Amino acid sequence: MNEVLAELSKVSVTLNDRLIVDQVSLSIKRGDIITIIGPNGAGKTTLIKTILGIQKATSGSISLQSGLVIGYVPQTLNLETTLPLSVERFMALSGCDRKGCQQALARTGVAHLSAASVHHLSGGEKQRLLLARALARQPGLLVLDEPAQGVDINGQAALYDLVRQLRDELNCGVIMISHDLHLVMAATDKVICLNQHVCCSGFPEDISHDPAFIETFGTAVAESLAVYHHHHNHRHDLHGNVIGDGSAIDGALKKGALDDAKAAPTCSGHHHD
Amino acid sequence: MIDSILDDFFWRALIGGLGVALVAGPLGCFVVWRRLAYFGDTLAHSALLGIALSFVIQVPINVGVIITCLGLALALVLFSRNKTLATDTLLGILAHSALAIGLVTLSFMPSVRMDLTGLLFGDLLAMSRGDLWWIYGGAATILCLLALLWRGLLMSTIHEELARVEGVPVERLRLALILMFAIVIAVAMKIVGVLLITALLIIPAATARRLARTPEQMVAMAMLFGFIAVTGGLALSWELDTPAGPSVVVTAFSCFLLISAVGGKQRA
């Protein structure tokens, strides 16, 4: 169960004399969902491209389990409209047979679109198509670069939920990049906060207490995640009214951070809804 | 029978032209899909330099052109690593410099009698049996390569990074595509001339886009529109004594306008 799929050891990447990724070590095990968060320009995309082998590491080593099949869901599918392409055909190009393609499309909920042109899909449909394509390869490791981009808020939660289900079904490892802190906290096993180097990492409920996390994202974000415990001596209702002394629930909050993040409005007066 | 047909220069031109259209169709689709119109133009412009080179190193003209196109493609890759200039600027510099250097070099070779207009705009009358061998040999090579590499080429055109992750040898395929461009330029030069080769590549493909629902349909239709352009253009040239290359391009453009007008909106 705990076999290591990918192991990075002190990986650094320098592009145009700029250090983008600084001595990152991490290991991805089967069954893990690891989420990389971090500010813009933190090297998140570069780091996963290094894992994918698209970007060469300047130093350090990356070892992948031999025979590991990687399913990659890129940030967006920007297709040239000059190339006529149906969903079905795009799937078939993965080398997967017709039945496998149909199953994968059905699993991500876009089977009804198989005859449609890829150019006519919405943002959410494109992401689901890309996920289906990764799925069709029966991956041991799923790599997702901001899978919820261009997807509305309900769709985002559903998408992360789907990723979690797929992890269970395929028994694969998952590593993804995300900006949707609330949703990430709910859907992930381990969070890596990247800012060139790994500034902190751990379980979602621990990481938001980490001074390095707060320094990177600011207190506002930490507070909006409803897990920065120093400020939680009271709670807000949906209208921002204080609804009681939080000292009793402070401990519960820390433990229940996962649930809390899902039920976002309960404790997030500064939340951006 | 075949022999007597090949004795007639009009039939030789037609058969040669159809052979070129056969490969210009699929390669033209890649030019359109990958936005390589400028790149194709640059390679084609270097063909004159290739002709000069072929006299210097004593090889057949087609070989000289292929070598020069490959050399230029390599130069482009090297130059584009240094990202201080935009690609279109770089292509503009190389395209016109290659053409100018080719013209200057040829002027230094008074012993070489070349019909410059024929080279620049195509020469119907000059189609020899040897040219036909080159055209069909080149076409067979390109079609075989395309058939073998089709899935990888298509995948790396659609999404290069996804293709890489799935183990498609993206870099090698790009080289193969450049090699195919070099071949098609070397053989199409006879029909439309170096200045108009890109038109023969992109106009039939762009026309096909309106009607096609799959990449393969687009390729087949681009071939068909290429056939129409070559046949119509040569007929025009024969009847009205117009230059062959421009006549072919004018016919292709007419098809494009017609399909754009009646074809309605893009389908897929």
Residue A208 is assigned to a structural domain of this protein: no
Q: What percent of chain B has pLDDT over 70?
A: 95
The Cα–Cα gap between B141 and B138 comes to 5
**Lowest-pLDDT choice from A155-164, A218-227, B177-186:** A218-227
The Cα–Cα gap between B244 and B192 comes to 7
The SS3 call for residue A191 is strand
Instruction: Say whether both A143 and A128 belong to one domain.
Output: no
Instruction: Say whether both A53 and A180 belong to one domain.
Output: yes
Instruction: Say whether both A62 and A187 belong to one domain.
Output: yes
Number of domains in chain B: 1
Number of domains in chain A: 3
Diameter over CA atoms, chain B: 59
Record: contact B217-A84, CB cut-off 8 A: yes
Record: contact B33-A85, CB cut-off 8 A: no
Buried b (16+ CB within 10 A) or exposed e, A142-152: bbbbbbbbebe
Residue A209 is assigned to a structural domain of this protein: no
Alpha-carbon distances of B21 from A67, B126, B154, B169, B227, rounded to whole Å: 43, 18, 20, 28, 6
Range of the domain at B236: 2-262
Nearest Cα residue to A11 out of A62, A70, A63, A48: A62
The Cα–Cα gap between B14 and B229 comes to 11
Residue B162 is assigned to a structural domain of this protein: yes
Instruction: Please report, as a single letter, which amino acid is at residue B3.
Output: D
- DSSP characters over A226-273: T--GGG-SEEE-TTS-EEEE-HHHHHHHHHTHHHHHHTGGGG-TT---
Closest chain A C-alpha to B268 CA, distance in angstroms:
5
Range of the domain at A190: 1-69+139-202
Residue B196 is assigned to a structural domain of this protein: yes
Closest chain A C-alpha to B254 CA, distance in angstroms:
20
pLDDT tens, position by position, B11-53: 888 999 999 999 999 999 999 999 998 989 899 989 888 988 8
Record: contact A84-B268, CB cut-off 8 A: yes
Residue B268 is assigned to a structural domain of this protein: no
Instruction: Say whether both A151 and A49 belong to one domain.
Output: yes
- DSSP characters over B118-179: HHHH--STT--HHHHHHHHHHHHHHHHHHHHHHHHHHHHHH-HHHHHHTT--HHHHHHHHHH
Name the residue among A74, A83, A133 with its Cβ closest to that of B157: A83
The Cα–Cα gap between A160 and B103 comes to 62
* Interface A-B: count of C-beta contacts within 8 A: 67
Domain CATH code at residue B15: 1.10.3470.10
pLDDT tens, position by position, B210-266: 999 999 999 999 999 999 999 999 899 889 988 888 999 999 999 999 999 886 555
Record: contact B164-A52, CB cut-off 8 A: yes
Report chain A residues whose CB lies below 8 A from the CB of B34: 80
Name the residue among B33, B165, B212 with its Cβ closest to that of A80: B33
Give which of B31, B150, B159 to mutate to test A binding, by max A Cβ within 10 Å: B159
Q: Tell me, what's the ipTM?
A: 0.82
Instruction: Say whether both A144 and A117 belong to one domain.
Output: no
Instruction: Say whether both A58 and A11 belong to one domain.
Output: yes
pLDDT tens, position by position, B167-196: 999 989 998 999 999 999 988 887 788 888
Residue A74 is assigned to a structural domain of this protein: no
Name the residue among A54, A90, A93 with its Cβ closest to that of B165: A54
pLDDT interval class at A272 (50, 70, 90) = very low
Record: contact B165-A84, CB cut-off 8 A: no
Record: contact A72-B165, CB cut-off 8 A: yes
Report chain B residues whose CB lies below 8 A from the CB of A77: 159
Instruction: Say whether both A130 and A156 belong to one domain.
Output: no
Pairing of strands A234-236, A242-245: antiparallel
Record: contact A83-B158, CB cut-off 8 A: yes
pLDDT of residue A247: 41
Instruction: Say whether both A166 and A196 belong to one domain.
Output: yes
Instruction: Say whether both A53 and A165 belong to one domain.
Output: yes
Record: contact B35-A80, CB cut-off 8 A: yes
Name the residue among A52, A70, A82 with its Cβ closest to that of B33: A82
